[in-house]
Structure 1
Amino acid sequence: MIRILFYVLIVLALGAGFAWLADRPGELSLIWQGQRIEMSLMVAATLLASLIAAVLIAIWLIRVVWLSPHSISRYFRARKRDRGYQALSTGLIAAGAGDSVLARKMTARTRGLLSSDQEPLIHLLEAQTALIEGKYDDARKKFELMADDPETRELGLRGLYLEAKRLGANEAARQYAERAADKAPHLPWATLAALDYRSQTGQWDEAIRLLDQSRASHVVERKEADRKKAVLLTARAGDKLEADPKGARDDAQAALKLAEDLVPAGLIAAKALFREDNLRKAASILEKLWKQEPHPQVASLYVRARSGDSATDRLKRANKLEALRPNNPVALAAVAESALEARQLPLARAKAEAAARIQPSEGIFLLLADIEEADTGDDGRIRHWMNQALKSPRDPAWTADGVTAPDWLPVSPVSGRLDAFEWKQPVAQIAGPVEEGTLEAADAAIRSLPPVAITHQRPEPQPEHTVAPAKPAPVVSGPVVPAHVIDVAEKTVEPAVKTIAVPVPSESVIVQQTVKTEPRPAPVKPEEATVEPFFGRPPDDPGVRDDSKPLEKTTFRLF
């Protein structure tokens, strides 16, 4: 565009010059070698311009003829280069698509048209072709050549890193990632990989320094960088908690400034402050975390802030947590547990049942079983709660990559990823219907709780016998038994033999007879009828009689 404008300006300047000469006519006389030449000024200017143009055209023709061999060779070289780049492009596409035959064909064609010194991407095409053909050693050699070239260093290091990860050579992968991160801290994959490896080995200071560099290079977003730095500070504070509580407190509080909802940071900060006897500030941190999202570990640490507190004092602190977040299952469970320790069993039962209705879980039903054991000691009711615990969803826990841990960890033990643990419900059991853990099931479980069974023995009443009037008869043998003597054998599980003496008149016949009697249950009042257990009726078969034992003989008087 600029060249066209330049040509236009030249033409306008020539036109303006000729117009200026046309407005000012004149004659030009020239004597050359005894001859006089006369012409007008316009003709002389035209002849001069034509002469200059002819000279320029002649120079151009001579230049074209002189440089024609070079121009021809350059044309064919450019054509060959274009064909090589076309083959390279086709080969890379074929390698990405997994077409090894076409990729190998394009690799050979590219090698014939281009030089590897001229185009380093030929090494990439050869490495990718070797990978899809399964020639991993050849691919690794190509990546090493690329890693030695300053132009393709990052590309070669990434290829070597991926190959090391594929082979499970974590140490080699760590070295490649560290090398790439040092040479090019703006690479996200190198920075994050090096960050994970430094976190796995506990190099918290180096990891924080690398994270700050990546944040300055805008590799990691600000929000993500703040979260990762808070996790690293929390991990470093956890290591310092035993030896340096003050340093642990500073790191944990710095982590809370970057991530206010990071529960492990708040717990470490509170523990450090407790060791410094700063209970008020520690309680303030825990209450702030509790208001954001109730957490069982926060409740446990808050309730047991002072080791010398009584169970009643811990119950008061639990009630304070419930006041901050009412109608919350975690808060209700904390109050129920504290009430159980304080032996306020009605309060513990009410809070635990309320928590079970809001959010049924395995832990709340186990807590109800503990309350039942402390309150009634009824085995049937305890088994009922434990059965509900087996059917209910599991309690939330620190989970990462399908693995649960009792305490928070900064790095996943499976993948080595930083900030992988989350407080959530673990993977549900494969067996068991899903609907058994719903709110309706929890409410039905509470309503179907069996009554308290009778666990103590009542005194057995004496059996009453009705004696019919007897007819006079001669006395055969035996003494006369008083009317008030009634001996009843003790009842046993197995059939037993009783000796019964019935009062008779003075003139009666006494006959010896062996009587087999069956055990009878102890009589109870109608309003205190025995409740059948919830898990089914007892077997009706009393068992097999032991015939090896002789039957006991008794005397029975007939009228």
Structure 2
Amino acid sequence: MWRALAFLALLALAAYGAVWLADRPGVVTVTWGGYELATSLAAALVGVMVLAVVLGFVWAFARGVLNLPERLTLSSRRRRQERGYSALSRGMVAVGSGDPIAARRLAGEAERLLGAEPLALLLTAQAAQISGDRAGAERAFRRMVDDPETRVLGLRGLFVEARRQDDEASARAYALEAARLAPSVTWANEAVMEGQCADRDWTGALDTVSRRASLGLSDKAAMRRQRAVLLTASALDLEAGDPERALAQAREAVKLAPDLVPAAAVAGRLFARRGDLKRGARVVEAAWRANPHPDLARVYLDLRTGDSSRDRLARAETLARISSWHPEARFAIARAALDAREFGRARDVLAPLLADQPTARAYALMAEIEEAEHGKNSGKAREWQARADRAPRDPAWCADGLVTDRWAPISPVSGRLDAFVWQTPPDLLGRAHGTAHEPEPAASALNGAEPAAKAGNGTTTIGTLTSGATGPGVVPVSVKVPEVVGPGR
């Protein structure tokens, strides 16, 4: 609409100019070289306009001829870039599809057409990775490090390659350099913290956690949890040599994460070691109310050195009252009663657990009771132990396929902080085909009579570690997946 209005305005202006010239006739005279040219004003203006148009066409033609080589060069370069980006796009698809031959061919074509384009270098590195050419991938990543635009991505690739070659020193160096260049890069911060945890540099790891939170890489809740885990790890290391400092760190960890069982356990032990039994008991009792756990029960029962077995039994009953007779409290009472040689009491407190989905730990404890009362050659003890071998597993500390009865601040497989979770591990193959649940034993069996023998089903069972048991502490089941470095990784 505006263009139409502008055209009409110009047309009206031209008409007005023509009328104005017609009303004011005149003569234009040009004298040059002894010649005199006379014409009307209107004809002179038309001639000037025609001359201007002709000169414009001549100038445009001259510029086109002069700029022709440059235009041809730009056109050739544009076509080359289009072909290069097409090869780059198809190469990325080939990498994603897992086609190493096409990826290498298209990577070479993209690099030939685009030169040192960052994405072309990345495609070259990825093609080398999926082809198993580690040296080629490393060369491409080093070329990326030389370019400021791709330096951090190149360091990421070199970090991954170093990890694949188990060169932890180089991997940490690459991560530190990347964190220095780009403090907000998540993978570099995580790798730096993993290295600090592997070196047991808990102070440095605490600084890294605080820096990550200040950069917005983790929320406040995650930061508090990670600080609590690191403080607990430091307290465990200092427990023997510097108990006062260890206690201060353990108390701070309990404040940050009241549900962190290892923090409450080490704080309770250190309070007891200092002779402050009441505060130690309060710390453990508070954690027990929130999360009854066998580690807390052991600390609570052993608060005072030299207590008799009956004193420990009374303390276990306190835990039962606090937690409304949680199964862990029953296990604690049964263990204390066994130590006090009150075998009937131990059997009675285990009876509800044996009647409702008993686990290997309940059966194993019954076997210990029978063995303590009737001797190592007791057939009843062997029968209870056989049931334990076939029963569902008890909760344990699990992380990245590892099952252990001891908590650790980091996973020995992946190096992740706070990886261990208290949960029931998956059954192993032999145990999965065994008897998952035994029927409720008769009252006579609980009071010392031998349980009815079960007919063998020919199934081989695999003994696994339960919490508090002796034997190998770790059952590893780990899987490593190859990693391809690329955008967003």
TM-score > 0.5 by shorter chain: yes
Give 1:75's aligned residue: 75
Render the CA deviation track for 1:261-320: whole Å, top value 9, x for unaligned: 211111122223333444333323222221222101111212222224443433332222
How far the C-alpha of 1:388 sits from its partner, in A, is: 2.9
User: CA separation of 1:177/1:68 partners in 2, compared to 1, >3 Å: closer, same or farther?
Assistant: same
| Matching residue within 255, 267, 270 for 2:268 | 270
Give 2:157's aligned residue: 159
How far the C-alpha of 1:450 sits from its partner, in A, is: 8.8
On the 8 A contact 2:144/2:150 being kept in 1, the answer is yes
Unaligned runs of 5+ in 1: 454-531, 537-559
How far the C-alpha of 1:145 sits from its partner, in A, is: 1.7
Q: Tell me the number of residue pairs that the alignment of Structure 1 and Structure 2 aligns.
A: 446
Render the CA deviation track for 1:186-229: whole Å, top value 9, x for unaligned: 22222222221221111112222223223333334554444333
* Aligned: 1:105 with 2:118: no
User: CA separation of 1:54/1:373 partners in 2, compared to 1, >3 Å: closer, same or farther?
Assistant: same
User: CA separation of 1:400/1:72 partners in 2, compared to 1, >3 Å: closer, same or farther?
Assistant: closer
Give 1:33's aligned residue: 29
User: CA separation of 1:11/1:278 partners in 2, compared to 1, >3 Å: closer, same or farther?
Assistant: farther
On the 8 A contact 1:234/1:252 being kept in 2, the answer is yes
Give 2:466's aligned residue: none
| Matching residue within 221, 227, 230 for 2:228 | 230
On the 8 A contact 1:353/1:446 being kept in 2, the answer is no
Give 2:364's aligned residue: 366
In terms of Rg, which structure is larger? 1
Distance 1:64 1:397 in 2: 81
Unaligned runs of 5+ in 2: 31-37, 455-489
Give 2:423's aligned residue: 424
Render the CA deviation track for 1:454-498: whole Å, top value 9, x for unaligned: xxxxxxxxxxxxxxxxxxxxxxxxxxxxxxxxxxxxxxxxxxxxx
One-letter identity of the residue aligned with 2:177: R
TM-score normalized with structure 2 length: 0.77
On the 8 A contact 2:361/2:394 being kept in 1, the answer is yes
User: CA separation of 1:33/1:305 partners in 2, compared to 1, >3 Å: closer, same or farther?
Assistant: same
On the 8 A contact 1:380/1:450 being kept in 2, the answer is no
Distance 1:108 1:341 in 2: 74
Give 1:114's aligned residue: 114
Render the CA deviation track for 1:512-543: whole Å, top value 9, x for unaligned: xxxxxxxxxxxxxxxxxxxx99669xxxxxxx
Give 1:140's aligned residue: 138
Within 5 Å, which residues of 2 pair with 1:186-205?
186-205=184-203
How far the C-alpha of 1:342 sits from its partner, in A, is: 4.1
Compare 127-136 and 331-340 and name the one that shifted more: 127-136
Distance 2:369 2:110 in 1: 80
Compare 138-147 and 7-16 and name the one that shifted more: 7-16
How far the C-alpha of 1:26 sits from its partner, in A, is: 8.8
On the 8 A contact 1:263/1:289 being kept in 2, the answer is yes
| Matching residue within 439, 443, 449 for 2:445 | 449
How far the C-alpha of 1:57 sits from its partner, in A, is: 6.0
| Matching residue within 294, 297, 305 for 1:296 | 294
Distance 1:114 1:241 in 2: 60
How far the C-alpha of 1:149 sits from its partner, in A, is: 1.9
| Matching residue within 160, 171, 179 for 1:173 | 171
Render the CA deviation track for 1:490-514: whole Å, top value 9, x for unaligned: xxxxxxxxxxxxxxxxxxxxxxxxx
User: CA separation of 1:14/1:400 partners in 2, compared to 1, >3 Å: closer, same or farther?
Assistant: same
User: CA separation of 1:49/1:95 partners in 2, compared to 1, >3 Å: closer, same or farther?
Assistant: same
Within 5 Å, which residues of 2 pair with 1:147-546?
147-372=145-370, 379-426=378-425, 428-432=427-431, 434=433, 436-438=435-437, 441-443=438-440, 445-447=441-443, 449=445
User: CA separation of 1:18/1:201 partners in 2, compared to 1, >3 Å: closer, same or farther?
Assistant: same
RMSD: 3.8
User: CA separation of 1:174/1:23 partners in 2, compared to 1, >3 Å: closer, same or farther?
Assistant: same
User: CA separation of 1:281/1:29 partners in 2, compared to 1, >3 Å: closer, same or farther?
Assistant: farther
User: CA separation of 1:431/1:104 partners in 2, compared to 1, >3 Å: closer, same or farther?
Assistant: closer
User: CA separation of 1:413/1:433 partners in 2, compared to 1, >3 Å: closer, same or farther?
Assistant: closer
Q: Please give the secondary structure, in 1, of the residue aligned with 2:430.
A: coil
Distance 2:248 2:12 in 1: 83
Q: Please give the secondary structure, in 2, of the residue aligned with 1:351.
A: helix
Render the CA deviation track for 1:131-153: whole Å, top value 9, x for unaligned: 34443323222222222221221
Higher relative contact order (CA 8 A, sep 6+): 2
